[in-house]
Structure 1
Amino acid sequence: MPVITVCGELVIDLIPAGAPQPGAAPQYTAFPGGNALNVAVAAARLGAVSHLMARVGPGPFGALLRGHASRNGVGTDAMLDAAEPVSLAVVELAADGSAGYSFHTVGAADWQWSADELARAWPAGTRIVHVGSISSWTPPGSAAIADLVARVRADGTALVSFDPNVRPGLITDADAVRAQVELLRRTADVVKVSAEDLHWLDPGADLDATALAWAAEGPSLVVVTDGGEPLRAARPDGTLLRRRPPVVDVVDTVGAGDSLAAGLFAGLVRTGVLTAAALRALPEPDLVALLDDAALVAALACTRAGADPPTLAELEAARAR
Structure 2
Amino acid sequence: MIVVAGEALIDLVVTAEGQRAVPGGSPANVAVTLARLDQPVRLLARLATDDYGRQLVEHLSANRVDLEWAVRAQEPTSVAVATLNAGGQASYEFRLAGAADWQWTPQELPELAGSPAIALHTGSLALALAPGAEALEGLLARERRRDGLTVSIDLNLRPSIVTDRAGEQERVRRQIRLAHLVKASDEDLAWLYPDRSVADVMTEWRAAGVSCAVVTRGGEGAWLLAPDGSLHEEPAVRTTVVDTVGAGDSFTGGLLAALADLDALGDRPADRLAAVTPQQWGTVLRQAATVAALTCGRRGADPPRRSEVAARLTPAS
Give the TM-score category using the shorter length.
Answer: over 0.9
Match of 2:81 among 78, 90, 94: 90
Report Cα offsets for 1:271-319 as digits up to 9, x if no partner. 1112221101211111111111111001101011110000001111111
Partner amino acid for 1:310?
Answer: P
Match of 1:159 among 150, 159, 184: 150
**Residue 167 of structure 2 aligns to a residue in which SS?**
helix
Aligned residue in 2 for 1:183? 174
TM-score by length of 1: 0.93
Partner amino acid for 2:65?
Answer: V
Q: Given the alignment of the two structures, is residue 280 of structure 1 paired with residue 278 of structure 2, yes or no?
A: no
Partners of 1:230 and 1:245 in 2: CA distance: 4
Partner amino acid for 1:15?
Answer: V
Partner amino acid for 1:198?
Answer: L
Question: CA, structure 1 residues 279+249, in 2 after alignment: closer, same or farther (shift >3 Å)?
Answer: same
Partners of 1:49 and 1:91 in 2: CA distance: 29
Aligned residue in 2 for 1:258? 249
**Residue 6 of structure 1 aligns to a residue in which SS?**
strand
Matches within 5 A, 1:132-281: 132-274=123-265, 275-281=269-275
Partners of 1:207 and 1:175 in 2: CA distance: 18
Partners of 1:121 and 1:11 in 2: CA distance: 24
Q: Given the alignment of the two structures, is residue 111 of structure 1 paired with residue 102 of structure 2, yes or no?
A: yes
**Residue 266 of structure 1 aligns to a residue in which SS?**
helix
- 5+ long unaligned stretches in structure 2: none
Q: Given the alignment of the two structures, is residue 308 of structure 1 paired with residue 302 of structure 2, yes or no?
A: yes
Aligned residue in 1 for 2:3? 5
Partners of 1:57 and 1:78 in 2: CA distance: 14
**Residue 244 of structure 2 aligns to a residue in which SS?**
coil
Report Cα offsets for 1:195-233 as digits up to 9, x if no partner. 111011111321122222212221110000011113110
Corresponding residue pairs, total: 312
Partner amino acid for 1:209?
Answer: D
Aligned residue in 1 for 2:311? 317
Shift of 1:184: 1.4
- 5+ long unaligned stretches in structure 1: 21-26
The 4+ residue runs of structure 1 with deviation greater than 6 A are 120-123
Contact in 2 for aligned 1:5/1:123 (Cα 8 Å): no
Partners of 1:185 and 1:138 in 2: CA distance: 16
Contact in 2 for aligned 1:78/1:123 (Cα 8 Å): no
Shift of 1:123: 9.1
Structure 1 window deviating more from structure 2 (5-14 vs 229-238): it is 229-238
Contact in 2 for aligned 1:212/1:235 (Cα 8 Å): no
Shift of 1:121: 8.8
**Residue 32 of structure 1 aligns to a residue in which SS?**
strand
Partner amino acid for 1:156?
Answer: D
Shift of 1:186: 1.6
Partner amino acid for 2:14?
Answer: P
Alignment RMSD = 1.5
Shift of 1:177: 2.5
Question: CA, structure 1 residues 122+201, in 2 after alignment: closer, same or farther (shift >3 Å)?
Answer: farther
